[in-house]
A and B are shown apart, each in its own frame.
Chain A
């Protein structure tokens, strides 16, 4: 488990990094927290010719309030996101999901943008980004573009990012007053990648939840936004049967994979249970909120 030989570069600014990526496209890989990259190097599962270590690039640091959105730079660690009171207050879904991301030691190094770049099908942050319709900012030498998270994840470890591009930041839209969120996942041990999970955003209207964004992850090659969810309105006093039916309808959108965690069909069943429990919990919270008003 020793990495093969590679060239190591540690530019001090973004332009330097983008130049290396441009000049060595396809060969150079960004090194952020290294929590995923270093193991694959050591296991010789990948052998990039060059690593571009971005850890010295100050402009990639920091969480910033941009009004409608919160900016998370490419060097922001999962742990910083988890500890940010700004994030917790304004983007509650992240607060719900972050405790499921790995363990403290990994969160201390691993970056949230790195997780998006990697696009592990079982990772939590890509699912959250899709549920929130976050915007991912990609830079290459001389050009910047912004891609919706809903268009970014394209398949198993496949994203819209080009080889010479880097994620410089992600913009998470802040929660509107009437939005409500839910998150649940099944993993064998705490901190493991999810077997299957759901991330949910909904709008709380009088007596109901609507405008559902329901994302399944873990079971799919990439986070899957349920198309069926959009048309579903859940009455605050709906029965368990209604809820179960709604959950089953949404899981019909899944195309779950068979793997060591189980058969796809098992995951579909488990997703329905997770979703139903999440929605029930959200309805409960919505009811409390209404009574506050």
Chain B
């Protein structure tokens, strides 16, 4: 699409990765590594009465059999606490369950063996006597007055109760011309990565140093965690994230089984490795999204939004995800409501409950898709009720934050938005009027097509105001260290990490341009706490927005240092010099000396430089948005679907996105981020679902039964950009990693429900299975005769 655009630099590592030359954690050699397999609880909630590991200990190849008691010597228990949300109190955790297992899949015993197969064989020889305890699976059971606790000793299962109120919503509802309401069920999902969670930990007892190779998004966070739990100084812990094959937020938390691996390395003083297999991924990777929402919207006769009232029930699983907690999904679900719109009166309330299920945590766009879906679906219902076109209705209500900063009814900080421009661009891109005409014609032939919109705000480049006040030790800055090597090549060590997004390439482009060197003379180093400066890694769409800004600043400083040195060597005013293609040129544009010449002089012959203080050829810059909690981006998406009302199936025909992520560094990478995000949103709306029985057993924990979206079902996703550079950085880029996911499910919701209008039905449960569609149609009592 953008093939002629010189900004479309392909990812440098892509060729290597598709050639099978990835260097993922599992590919890293370590001498005499012990392979770990876990015995996991088969029950959602059970007491461990007796454990016999004797047979496992003598099984072929077994190096060690490790239980909770063994690890207590090296690993402290932890508690996940958020300072400002004291109700989000999760029971104390240890790496392996000791007396009680609280979800099906919780690790209980670790077997270390010479091969993974031998470890699995030995797992089958561990005998555990269990007493099943009452399990809490669904949200209603968790919330019930007399609900048994998810873990013994907990006072109740409520893990979050948070409300927000703006204006006078009651009065606004009372006086409104029209009020609509809708119920929403969001199923549990999980982030299915190509590369599973993997960790290789080595501890050298001679110097008491721990090195962890970790398929993770935030190595600096994990260094904090390992250091705290294992009682090692930060400087004795090195966390390295090599190639990482997808993460989606799922690889942001400190998993107890991974903590066990690091602790076992310390305990045994030898390298140990754990690579989650697909089956255990389903019962141990964080889940997300489980929620039920009831939303109401009041509008006046002119089609202005008046008030919203939204109540969210959010499911946490057995423990809060460490260290960030599990409250984010529910909080975002109430706080991102109506973020793109003007709204004076709002009430939001979220309650979250612990359950005997896999802990929930971060998944791309955290809660924002829920808020977007609720908002957009209610808007459509209201537009219909007062007889306005849904596109027109949205346009009348967009927030006015283009020229002056604004705050949404639920407190979202907005500035320099472009919703109306994105909107107009989208309608043109999709030929909206033509689609509506065609829709009307086809309805006469009993062909039910729907057009759905989702305008969205995406919180990107989230800064220290999120976790800082919560006392959670997660760095929100991004930093860049640039070094000119003596051969003139430039090393860029960045705190940003890359799990396939291509952030490294974006940084490379910024650096090449700002510094004035050829891209192929730059090395980008990521994900090694020993080498890269402190920073967040990859979360909340920060790589280019924040990491790019740090890179830009470092590049400018380095360039100034280089030109100062060159000026003194050339006896020229540094301001008259330029660095181009790695060569210093004079005012006339003539090449004077190369970066290699300068670095060699500084490194080996600095006596020749006529300066008292030689500026460094290694500089570090960091950046965090400190005056604003995040940099909001915006956009709008639209879906075109066809519903088969007899079979209940849904086909996505087309999809469009107009996004404003500020300055676009590499359109190809940006577009693919959006597409991937959209596909995940479509997956949420149509396919993905962790199906739990009322007894708390996960019933579809394999890729045969858990449906991820596949290429064959995906529409072409057409993308356009509006570029409004943010003034919060010099670079001007906003984030884009979650944009697609924030709005895509919402666009499918509104499109499907638009298709169902003539049949008098609406869908309410995500994913929209054929059965759900048929049930809703049957309920509407308007099922058409087969045609």
Q: Which residues of A contact B (CB under 8 A)?
A: 1-5, 39, 43-44, 186, 188-193, 195, 240, 244, 260-263, 266, 269-270, 272-274, 276
Contact = CB atoms under 8 A, between A and B. Distances in A.
A95 B352 CA distance: 52
B771 A266 contact: yes
A145 to B, nearest CB: 33
Nearest to B121: A4
A44 B123 CA distance: 12
Contacts of B712: 189-191
A190 B787 contact: no
Given A190-B712, A266-B774, A274-B647, A2 B120 contact: yes
B4 interface: no
Given A4-B117, A190-B713, 9 more contacts: A39-B704, A43-B279, A43-B702, A189-B687, A189-B707, A189-B710, A240-B786, A244-B786, A266-B648
A167 to B, nearest CB: 23
A192 B709 CA distance: 12
B141 interface: no
A32 B775 CA distance: 41
The 4 closest A-B pairs by CB, nearest first: A2-B117, A1-B277, A262-B771, A190-B712
B278 interface: yes
Nearest to A187: B649
B646 interface: yes
Nearest to B115: A2
A269 to B, nearest CB: 7
29 contacts: A1-B277, A1-B279, A2-B115, A4-B120, A4-B124, A43-B702, A44-B120, A44-B124, A186-B649, A188-B687, A188-B770, A189-B710, A189-B712, A190-B710, A190-B712, A193-B704, A195-B770, A240-B787, A260-B691, A261-B771, A262-B769, A262-B770, A262-B771, A263-B771, A266-B648, A266-B775, A270-B646, A270-B647, A273-B647
Contacts of B709: 189
Contacts of A276: 786
Interface in B738-787: 769-771, 774-775, 785-787
Interface residues of B, number: 33
A258 to B, nearest CB: 10
Nearest to A5: B121
B699 A260 contact: yes
B283 to A, nearest CB: 13
Nearest to B774: A266
A2 B116 contact: yes
A263 B770 CA distance: 11
Given A260-B691, A260-B700, A262-B769, A186 B647 contact: yes
Interface in B676-718: 687, 691, 699-700, 702, 704-705, 707, 709-710, 712-713
Contacts of B278: 1
A115 B375 CA distance: 48
A1 B115 CA distance: 12
Interface in B340-361: none
Contact of B770 (A5, A43, A240, A270): A270
Contacts of A2: 115-117, 120
Contacts of B700: 260
Contact of A273 (B116, B707, B771, B786): B786
Nearest to B117: A2
A276 B279 CA distance: 39
A4 B770 CA distance: 38
Contacts of B699: 260
Nearest to B687: A188
B18 to A, nearest CB: 16
A211 to B, nearest CB: 24
Contacts of A186: 647, 649, 770
Contacts of A272: 786
A43 B278 CA distance: 9
Contact of A3 (B117, B705, B787): B117
Contacts of B687: 188-189
A175 to B, nearest CB: 28
